[in-house]
Structures are given as C-alpha cells and as structure tokens.
Structure 1
Amino acid sequence: MDIFLYTVTGLLVTTTLLPILRHSHWLVRGMDFPRMQLAGMATFVMMLQLFVLNLTEPLTWALIAVTALCLAWQLWWILPYTRLWKTEVRSSTDTDTRRQIRILTANVLTSNRDVHKLIALVKEYQPDVLVTLESDQWWEDQLKPLEKDMPETIKCPLDNLYGMHVYSRLPLYEKEISFLVEEGVPSMHALLELATGDQIRMHFVHPAPPSPTENTESIERDAELVIVAKSVAGSAQPIIVTGDLNDVAWSRTTRLFRKLSGLLDPRVGRGMFNTFHVDYPLLRWPLDHLFHSDHFTLQNIQRLPSIGSDHFPLLSCLSFTPIKGKGQDGLDADQDDKDFADSIARSQNVSKQEVPEPGE
C-alpha cells in the first residue's frame, strides 16, 4: 500500500505541474481540463495517507504536504466557478425585456438526429439568438422551420464537425463568416440590434481542440482566441463572444482570453455549468462559453436538458444596462501575458486585423 500511495502521489504531482508549462502539446494542455477530478483525487489520496502511512515518519508528512499543495493549487483554479466566490457579473433587476438578449448556444453533434429536441427547447425558452455548432447541411434543412420566427441567419454548413449557424429574432447587420486561423474552421461576426435600437457586436467561435486525433497542439485554438481577444480589447462597443471554445473556463488559455479582452464571465461566483460530456457525469467540463463587456448584467444562465448531443445547450440571458454594469471587474493582463499572446499569434502568422469588427 505504501508503494501504491507513493506512485499515486507522484502521478498527482505530475498532472498538477504539467499545465504550468507553456507547451502547447495536447497532453500538456489537456491537463487543464480535469482539475475537479484531480482535486477529488488529491482529497482521497490525502485521506489514505493519513490513515495508512506511519505518521511518525517525516516522509509521510512530506507526502501529505505535497498532496495538500496539489489540492490547494487545483482549488485555486476551480473555486471561482463555485458559489464560494464573489460574482464577477452583477445580477440584473431590469424588467425591460426590450433591453434583454437571450442566447442559446448548442453544440448539436453532427451525427445527432434528435433535432426535435432542440426545436422544442427553442419554442420553450424563446431565445433571441440561437447559435449551433457542428451543424451540417442536414441540420440546416431540419432547422428551416425556425426561420419563420428567427429570420435573420448566418449559415455555414460543413461536414467536418465545424459547421455553424446563427438564427436571430433581432436584426443582424454586417454579417461575416471568417476562417481566422484554420481552413475549414469558421467563426461568425455580426452587429445585433436590440428593440431599443442599441447595437451589440457579436462574435461566434468554435476553434478546433488539441487532441491526438485532430490538432496535436493547442496553438491553433489559442491563436484564434488571442486575436479575437485583441480585437475586442479596448473597444467602447457592447460586445458578446459565445461558442464552444473547446477549452475549460479555468484553463490558462481561457484566462488569457479574458485578461486580453477585458470581457466578463457570468459564471464566476455562480457555478461551472458543465456542458460536456452528457453521458459521463464524472467527466464533465464547461466547454461552451459566453463572455461579455461590462455593458451587461445577468438575468439568468442555465444549462438546458440534453438534445441528444454530447454537449448540453447553454442559455444565457443578459440585460443591456451599461450604467449599472460599470465597475464590474474581470481579469487584467500584465506585460508577460501580452508578450505570450503576441508569440502565440506570431506562431500562426495571424493578427487582430483579420477579425471582423462590425460596428467599428
């Protein structure tokens, strides 16, 4: 049992330290994902150490201390996405529905055929904007009935798992589809107009994940997020960025995106809202995201029931309350963050100038 605990502790230390490296290999970046699971593992291992090992030996306390440090490090990353943390975005008390925007983000899974489940959710929750990820021509054809109530659309059906569609009840202007970093991996950009006449700059993204079967490095995903963040940084416009980032909310890359962009995460202090994987409750992470500028406060955010995909849909309702939203603070980038972001963008030969800026 002692040897087992030494081995497990060593594995825990390795998986905890790997993400500290700035290496973009999928195995390194992949260790950003299971921080909840690793925190649970550290707790269990520490209990075993206390009950099984000889507490009179200095080595035992050294092992316990190392395990406790691993636990504390994992908790530092994930605690902001619990109710133990202060909320980053204020709750809205505004009842003017003309100033509200409801966005349903759904990775539908290309091979999924339960389209009726998504249509039922749209009818029940009446989002102003629906964005679908992994939607191909079949999905576009099946979602055609939605256009009666959501006539504003942006369509890019693809059969490579990166198709994307946007449906909106509200007017969309300056609509554009871009392939920012990788051929075949689109993003969508538009200017949305509320019933009040206020306009919101929208970006819909779905960068490819780092994995042994797709991109062995995370650099393509990271570069797309970096240039979108740089594009919106410092803008006075109301801005919303949403989609499947193929990254967890607490990862180094997503934190870098938040630091560079200045956008806020309404989940901070409210919960993780894990959207993937539907079939494995113990292996779920928040991969579907919505970030926004401080022009907004939060009405509601919730994970919706399964639509037959491997992702749950995410519904976010924001209020456009620019005066009440002032003073909401997110993360700040230091010079090291900016230099690191520059190196990521240079590695893919991309820049923020390639990101459409509707309304600018």
Structure 2
Amino acid sequence: MKRKMGFGVVLVMVVALAALSFMPMINTDRWWIRLLDFPRLQASVALVVLALPVLFYFRYFRRMAGLCLILIASALSYHAYVLFPYLPTGSDFPVADCPAGNAITVMVANVKMHNDPDGKLLDMVQDVQPDVLLAMETNAKWNEALAPLTKTMPHTVSHISGSYYGIHLFSRLPLVDPQIRFLAGQEIPQVVSGITLGNGEAVDFLGVHPRPPVPSRPDTTLARDAVLYKAGLLARERAGTAIVAGDFNATPWETAVERMRQLGNLQDPRRSYGFVPTFSAQSWWMSWPLDQIFHEPGFATVSLERLPSFGSDHYPFLGKFCRTAMGEDESVPQADEELIRKAKEVIAAASR
C-alpha cells in the first residue's frame, strides 16, 4: 500500500511537471502560461530528479513507470530544444579587437526602486566605464545618487515616476534627439535616442522596460508584448543600425521576444554564449535571463559579462560591441506582412 501511494505521488508530479513544460506551446497571452517559459532549466533539473524514483518503481509498476519515463524524456527533449541555443557551446565571438571609434559598451542595470543607493552601483560604473548606462526602476533618490555620473557621462535623458518604471540613460557619447516615449499607448517610459560613435556615425538606441507577466488588470502579457513589438518595429523603421537593451521581463526564447527579433532584424549575442541569468540576484534557484542587449546586423559582439550584484534583485549586464563595415547582411529583410499585421494588432489592443 505504501509503495502504491509513493508511486502515486511520483506519478502525479511527473504528469503535472510534463504538462506545465508543454503548456507554453499554447498560443495565449495569459500571464501564468507565459510565465511558465521562465523556469525551463529548473524544470529540466526537476524532471531528471524525478526520473530516479521512477526507475526505482519500474520493477513494481512497469507499465505506468514506463509511461512516466516517456513523459520525462519528451519534456526534457522539448526543454533541450528550446534552451540549446542559450547554453555554452564554445562558439567564439567574431571580433576580438575593435577600433576605438567603432566600439560601444552598453551596461544595463535594474536598480530595484526600493534598494538602498549606497554607492555600490556608482563605484561599479566608474570601475567598468561603459559608454552607455541604462538604469531602470529609478526614482528621486536614485536620480540624486546617480547624479555624479554626469561628470563622465554628461549626455543624459531620464524620466522619474513614483512607480517601478523610472528610467535613466547616461552616455559618454553624444546623444542624438534623445526622447522619452510611451510606446504602444503604455504609461511606462522608454528611451529612444541616437548615439554618435567615436567615428562620427550615429546609431540608434532603444532602452525598454515593459511590464512583467504578473497577475494584474488586465491579467495578460498584452502590455509587455506590445512594447517589445513596438521596439522591434522602431528598430526596423529607423535609419540607423539599432541596439535594443533593457529589462525585457521576458526570457530570450519566448515567442514575444522571437517575434520582436524578427520584426527588428535583431540578433541576440547570448546565443551560443551561455544562459547568463540576470534575475534573481537574491535566489539561487529562481534564476533566468531577463535583461537583454540585442542589436541589428552591423554590430559584432566583442564580449558579454554579468557583473556582480550590488543589492538589486537583478545583476547588471554588460556588452561590448563593435560597429562593423556595411555589408549585405545589414540590410533589413523583406517584411513579413503577416507578422507586422499581428504585431500592430497587439499594439492597438494594448493601447485601448
């Protein structure tokens, strides 16, 4: 009896975890289904652990245990298919050195609004010396704490709010027509600006921080996805070669991020480099990559780095990129009219 009860518990856990693993395949924007895309690595580890008691019970309940093993293998295969591009495969970045005038180093830091601005982030920025810092969840106290950065990063644009969506952009390089824009009808500020590289060329920069997939009204990812789609469309439409960076509140393998990449002809340097989780810095198990730096062709990645924690629930993320010569792969591909139509429908729905 105890053996049956024990196997019954294992059976329920396997079926539930396998079902949750495949549930993100459903084409829906319900927040809790989209959130299941986050813990794929954790789910894979849990499935491997569950395989051990299943193997133990196999000699007693051969048929049902065999079914469990099939479910575990299927779910693990699906997770492996999704995660493989984001696991370290040993691929080297195409550029090791870059002329100073062609280089740009971008740092992304979600400061966590209620985190104490005790100077750790300021010291880190002064040590790393990025060309561009995008700080999110900033408020009045963070505005004051980060003000010394203007001595070395005098080109700024910012928006302070009483919510978790304040945003600051600091740059050593001159900004071109910097704007705070509220994309897709959202009341959340995003940064849209040009940046003049050392070689005199202006490139585009979009700093985004959409809403996370959490229970709210509406309890969907519509608002988040609309901002990501709008960023992709802006990257496509603007004349300069673009970098899109920020806390996306989405993992890079999610459908919404993949559609944004297609809309903007963007590349994800995290592919082949590694999983590199940036959230949560306060948990060893709840860990996934939410902070992103994407770019259009015409940039090559020199390095990517997750920086040490400074007290926020996000790790800072640093990428160094090199502006390469204009090439055929830099041209914007023929628009997928159906994808653009669907993206605009989502943006319109979110705006309403």
On whether the aligned pair clears a TM of 0.5, the verdict is: yes
Is it true that 1:266 corresponds to 2:292 in the alignment?
no
| Equivalent pair of 1:297/1:321 in contact (CA under 8 Å) | yes
Q: Of the candidates 287, 307, 316, which is equivalent to residue 319 of structure 2?
A: 316
Which of 129, 136, 143 pairs up with 1:133? 136
Inter-partner Cα distance in structure 1 for 2:49 and 2:330: 37
Distance 1:18 1:225, change over 3 A: same
Deviations 1:136-185 (A, max 9, x none): 11111111111111110001011200000001010001111111135431
User: One-letter code of the match for 1:189?
Assistant: V
TM-score, scaled to structure 1: 0.89
1:297 aligns with 2:297: no
TM-score, length of structure 2 as denominator length: 0.91
> Following TM superposition, by how much is the alpha carbon of 1:279 offset from its aligned partner in structure 2, in angstroms?
1.0
Structure 1 residue runs without a partner (length 5+): 351-360
Letter in structure 2 aligned against 1:180: L
Q: Distance in 2 between matches of 1:342 and 1:78?
A: 28
- Whether contact under 8 Å (1:256, 1:333) holds in the other structure is no
In structure 2, what is the Cα distance between the partners aligned to 1:214 and 1:208?
A: 12
Structural mapping, 1:29-44, within 5 Å: 29-44=34-49
**Identical positions, percent:** 29
- 2:162 matched to 1:159? yes
- Give the equivalent residue in structure 2 for 1:288: 291
Change (3 A) 1:300 1:215: farther
SS in 2 for 1:267: coil
For residues 261-305 of structure 1, the C-alpha deviation after alignment (integer angstroms, 9 at most, x for no partner) is 210011100012211111101111111100001111111110001
2:106 to 91, 99, 103: 103
**Runs (5+) with no aligned partner, structure 2:** 1-5
**Judging changes above 3 Å, is the alpha-carbon distance between structure 1 residues 268 and 51 closer, same or farther for their aligned structure 2 residues?**
same
Matched, 1:53 2:58: yes
Specify the alignment match of 1:63 in structure 2: 68
Deviation at 1:195, TM superposition (A): 1.0
Deviations 1:322-344 (A, max 9, x none): 35x76599999967655543442
Change in 2 beyond 3 A, CA 1:27/1:56: closer
Asked if 2 retains the 8 angstrom alpha-carbon contact of 1:258 and 1:331, the reply is no
1:187-198 map, 5 Å: 187-198=190-201
CA distance in 2, matches of 1:328, 1:55: 60
Deviates more, 1:160-169 or 1:21-30: 21-30
Residue of structure 2 aligned with 1:275, choices 275, 278, 283:
278
**Residues 57, 251 of structure 1: alpha-carbon distance in 2 compared, 3 angstrom cutoff:** same
Q: Which residue does the alignment assign to 1:93?
A: 96
Q: 1:85 to 1:219 in 2, by over 3 A?
A: farther
User: Closer, same or farther in 2 for the Cα pair 1:283/1:329, shift >3 Å?
Assistant: farther
Of 174, 191, 205, which residue of structure 2 is paired with 1:202? 205
SS in 2 for 1:143: helix
Q: Distance in 2 between matches of 1:347 and 1:24?
A: 12
| Paired residue secondary structure (1:181) | helix
Instruction: For residue 84 of structure 1, report the CA deviation from its aligned partner.
Output: 2.7
- Give me the whole-angstrom Cα distance separating, in 2, the residues matched to 1:179 and 1:103: 22
Residues 259 and 333, structure 1, Cα contact 8 Å, conserved in 2:
no
Deviation at 1:100, TM superposition (A): 0.5
8 Å Cα contact 1:259-1:332 kept in structure 2: no
Distance in structure 2 (CA, Å) of the matches to 1:151 and 1:236: 25
Task: Report how many aligned residue pairs link the two structures.
Answer: 347
Contact 2:186/2:351 (8 A) holds in 1: no
1:13 to 10, 13, 18: 18
Corresponding residue SS for 1:286: coil
Higher mean alpha-carbon deviation, 102-111 vs 329-338, is at 329-338
Q: In the alignment, does 2:2 pair up with 1:2?
A: no
Correspondence for 1:344 = 346
Structure 2 counterpart of 1:222? 225
CA RMSD of aligned residues (A): 2.5
Stretch moving more, 45-54 or 341-350: 341-350
Would you say the 8 A contact 2:34–2:221 is kept in 1? yes
**Are residues 280 and 127 of structure 1, via their aligned partners in 2, closer, same or farther at CA, if it must alter by over 3 Å?**
same
Question: Which residue does the alignment assign to 1:242?
Answer: 245
Q: Which residue pairs with 1:357 in the alignment?
A: none
Q: CA deviation at 1:235?
A: 5.6
1:53 and 1:331 mapped to 2: Cα distance? 53
Say whether the 8 Å CA contact 1:294–1:326 is kept in structure 2.
no
> Residue 162 of structure 1 contacts residue 184 of structure 1 at CA under 8 Å; is this kept in 2?
no
Q: Would the aligned equivalents of 1:222 and 1:253 in 2 still touch at CA under 8 Å?
A: yes
1: distance between equivalents of 2:255 and 2:76?
18
